[in-house]
Amino acid sequence: MEKLKVGIIGTGVIFDLNILGYLNREDVEITCLCNRTVEKAKQKINRFNLKKNLPIYSDYKEMLDKEELDLVEILLPHHIHADATIYAAQKEVKGISVQKPIALTLEEADNMIDACEKSGSILSIYENFVFAPHITKAKKLLDSDYIGDPSSIRIKTAIGTEGGWKIPESAVIWRKDPKKIGGGSEGSPILFDNGWHAFSLAWWFFNEEIEKVFAWTDIYQGLDAPAYVMFKYKQSKEHVVPQFGNMEFALMPEMNFSDSKYYPVDEFIEIIGSRGIMKINQCTSIGNKMSNSEIFPPLVIIRDGKVETYNDFEKDWKHSFINATNYLIDVLKKNKEPILSGEQARSILKFNLAAIESVEQGIEIYVD
């Protein structure tokens, strides 16, 4: 069996999770790495027991020029996504996976999509949240009409400051540039960067595009938070009641997520349907102490006068990445349309940028 040849551009913190889905598969092979600091890539080769003679590049263009790849993972800062994707498409790489968000602007997203269409490359935006086992289960229950027609969604993101990964200073610096983090006058590290997951889930759970949005943020230590976003869905099909949603980004500066392996952040989701309520507890921090609590299981359904709890999941955020990578490989091998294609990611970007524009103008924004 011929193996898919994979190249990874960027070996920072998120690399440690993205690589997990490739390690135990016999049908793929990581054939090269790229990182501006070559020594950091060498450290990852040792840490994950990759081939000692694995080629390492400091320039992604040189890597794409010299290597014949079936799949490239682009784990780069947001402002480099478009250039790297377009270059990979020009080299006719069959599968191009890009970290969220797809790009900084709709124009960049359009250029990425056009380049991939011309080359026949499959463009997939990497969104691991939808592949967390308990969230996948929640989606299946929704799609089966288990709580009736969903009418509203509330996504609350709790943001701490202590615990989890230590983010390199280099990753902090570019996030302080408003032009590289959403384009608002103060920058949008919460709504545009961290918030992308919430904007994606709002679309994925309801499978409806957004019609209009109103958002408000404050500023705390360089963060566009606390923040609140309200939105109404387009009604592409008839629903019991009009569908709407809201997101809240709450700060917890004195909360220590010391038991978190990843980010000091967690998400809580509530979906109300015509005949029941669904509660999703933990996303980023799945596997923390709350996951094993009888009163705080990962997934709860309230319907027909009964409370149902779902607790039998692999409780570690890393499984969302492993599952996302397995899905990506399957998409490539079967030449399928990915869940978060370039076009769909563009739609989410449009929603996301509309929220930032609403903050800037202080008015409700219609999402064209």
Type of residue found at 136: T
SS3 128: helix
Q: Is the pLDDT of residue 368 over 90?
A: no
**Tens of pLDDT, residues 9-54:** 999 999 999 999 999 899 999 999 999 999 999 999 999 999 999 9
- Report the C-alpha gap between 25 and 333 in whole angstroms: 13
Residue 271: which pLDDT band, with cuts at 50, 70 and 90? very high
Type of residue found at 42: K
DSSP secondary structure string for all residues of 81-112? HHHHHHHHHHTT-SEEEEESSS-SSHHHHHHH
What average pLDDT does range 350-363 have in this prediction? 96
Instruction: Give domain 129-315+352-360's CATH superfamily.
Output: Dihydrodipicolinate Reductase; domain 2 (3.30.360.10)
pLDDT at 181: 85
Please answer whether residues 275 and 147 qualify as being in contact, where contact means their C-beta atoms are separated by less than 8 angstroms. Answer: yes
- Report the C-alpha gap between 280 and 297 in whole angstroms: 8
Closest to 101 (Cα-Cα) out of 172, 176, 192? 192
- Report the C-alpha gap between 19 and 138 in whole angstroms: 26
The one-character DSSP state at 100 is S
Type of residue found at 13: V
Please tell me whether the peptide bond between 226 and the residue prior to it is cis, using omega within 30 degrees of 0: yes
Two structure tokens written together for 187: 């920058």
Chain centre distance of CA 3: 27
- Report the C-alpha gap between 192 and 215 in whole angstroms: 12
Q: Is the pLDDT of residue 1 over 70?
A: no
Two structure tokens written together for 182: 């959403």
**Tens of pLDDT, residues 128-180:** 999 999 999 999 999 999 999 999 999 999 998 777 777 777 777 777 888 88
- Report the C-alpha gap between 286 and 120 in whole angstroms: 37
**Tens of pLDDT, residues 80-117:** 999 999 999 999 999 999 999 999 999 999 999 999 99
Closest to 195 (Cα-Cα) out of 156, 137, 150? 156
What average pLDDT does range 243-261 have in this prediction? 87
Q: Bigger pLDDT: 169 or 280? A: 280
pLDDT at 9: 98
- Report the C-alpha gap between 192 and 182 in whole angstroms: 5
Q: Where in the chain is the domain with CATH 3.30.360.10?
A: 129-315+352-360
pLDDT at 10: 96
**Tens of pLDDT, residues 281-323:** 988 888 877 777 888 899 999 999 999 999 999 989 999 999 9
The reply to whether CATH 2.30.42.10 applies to domain 4-126 is no
Which stretch of DSSP H or E encloses residue 138? helix 133-143
pLDDT at 291: 77
pLDDT at 166: 74
- Report the C-alpha gap between 248 and 15 in whole angstroms: 28
pTM score: 0.94
Q: Where in the chain is the domain with CATH 3.40.50.720?
A: 4-126
Share the mean pLDDT of the chain.
Answer: 93
